Structure 1
């Protein structure tokens, strides 16, 4: 079923989102600072409310099916964005980026993510329109991504990035010190790059990888380019504030990656089943549609996404609380421990 929305709504949506992103970029560059918990929470609340209002308008101007597709797509992309945030934290920590200037650098990372996802949305929509068998490829890719997500080793990724950094340092002059958020400065009469260039490249590489992962995932929920794009934009808005709000807590949500892996695997299976329904490959069922393959509906997908993320977050918080209680008990045990000295008076 095609999504039919008024032209003014789609055009208005693009204009409003562009204005909000422009304001966010301006604030990040004009007021470089570390946002307070209250400021971050208010901005995140604003973006989440905005997404829910948009979903409500989708229900009113479109229909329940496409409204549900937006919510499911938004939540999927939001969960993947949080995973992206975890890698951002690693990059900022590894390159010792001053917290005051992390806002500016994060905005560049978010803009790069939007650009890469926009490109892949266009490519994905064209592939789906012309090649129905692409759903088999998307499904297999997401299942492989789910396995990699559950068992990936960040140390291997860090080693690859370190190799890139060593390559850059051999070929272009890069200082060891930051100069605010400047990309290039003059030092001893010569133009040199600051470590910001390396951070940008690391963020861009990360964004590219996550764009490749996330676009097939949301096309498994909806084939509407408008929903795919808006879900991605709403998921990335507020990511900068979420970075400062959650901080190291993201690293402590140890089961989050398994929740995300389950969602990606589920959508991969859904894409495979959809591909069987649309099948035109001659070596599968003689090129005919496979009628017995069950179709997974939007609302089932939404339920799986919400439950998976809820279980992953709650389980992580329970583990975190138990570890905290264990540390407190160990400290108390050490405090009451008494060393008995031998009595030399006897």
Structure 2
């Protein structure tokens, strides 16, 4: 049973319309969303993803629905890591809080375009060169090890962005002040760019780096380009509201990078096992498939993703709560 073409076209049209509406809302109504508003939007997008999975189950079967759900959970988990870098970028360029919605929305659009390109490239490579799974798997295991290292990787990413930003500043005139959410402004009768441009460039560079990490990961779940792309859309759509919902809580999620490291390491091993299962390299097992290499089931992948994220979040909040109690106790003494 395949996914009907009419379903794919209809779903993409609806999702594009939702994204356009969200973009227009961020552009024409810049404001700082309340906790209640952010919560309602996050719940809406999560419910939308679950409804989409239900429709997939109804029209295409449980296999596709399971692959979408697992892929969405994976991409959503990895996308949360973006938020830490977004916080650093917003602080570094002193983006007014009421304009941050627009910045995040543009960042999401850039991410979707970049990921769409990576998905098309990934599908083409997989169809013509199956050993790429060895490369994907090794890359994700290496990324997992980096994630598990002491914190500071996010600062390194911002430093890479700074190089591009410095290059941009040398090439074009950029004002010192923001002019609402405009990209161009007038200073002393001359039209020049606002700092919003370099913020968009910094967000775009970040999205590019995260796309390189996340796209190989989701190919361990499904090779269906429609499911890969829609899982990315649903994961990114609620990211803007999640940024405001979590707010200062991001600083407390000190162990989240360990959860992401576990997920990336698991997915990397899964890809290597899959590569062994479909092996075609002549210097490995004589070019024959390695029958004992298991294909990890979808339900196990979903379980590992959920347990890793919930465990890392819970451990972070418990540690933070203990620190607060210890501080209160020391003050009272």
Q: TM-score, normalised by structure 1?
A: 0.93
Shift of 1:252: 1.6
Aligned to 1:15: 13
Q: What residue number does 1:200 align with?
A: 200
**CA offsets 1:23-78 (integer angstroms, 9 cap, x no match):** 10111111010111111111111110010111111222222222111111001100
Tell me the CA shift for residue 148 of structure 1: 1.7
Aligned to 1:323: 323
* In 1, Cα distance between equivalents of 2:155 and 2:18: 36
Matches within 5 A, 1:1-346: 4-151=2-149, 153-333=153-333
- The alpha-carbon deviation at position 244 of structure 1 amounts to 0.8
Check the 8 A contact 2:281/2:287 in 1, yes or no.
Answer: yes
Question: TM-score, normalised to structure 2's length?
Answer: 0.96
Measure, in 2, the Cα distance between the counterparts of 1:153 and 1:105. Answer: 22
Q: After TM superposition, what 4+ stretches of structure 1 lie above 4 angstroms from structure 2?
A: none
> Aligned partners of 2:294, 2:94: CA distance in 1, in Å?
50
Equivalent residues, number = 331
1:299 deviation in Å? Answer: 0.8
* Separation of aligned partners in 1, 2:223 and 2:79: 20
Does the Cα contact within 8 Å between 2:88 and 2:158 map onto a contact in 1? no
Higher Rg: 1
SS of structure 1 residue aligned to 2:327: helix
- Matching residue of 1:341: none
Residue 79 (structure 1) shift? 0.7
CA–CA separation in structure 1 for the residues paired with 2:222 and 2:158: 34
Q: Residue 94 of structure 2 aligns to a residue in which SS?
A: coil
Secondary structure of the residue aligned to 1:192 is: strand
Could you tell me which runs of 5 or more consecutive residues in structure 1 were left unpaired when the two chains were aligned: 334-346
- CA separation in 2, counterparts of 1:160 and 1:49? 36
1:250-296 per-residue CA deviation (whole Å, 9 max, x = no partner) reads 23201111101110110110000100111111111111111111221
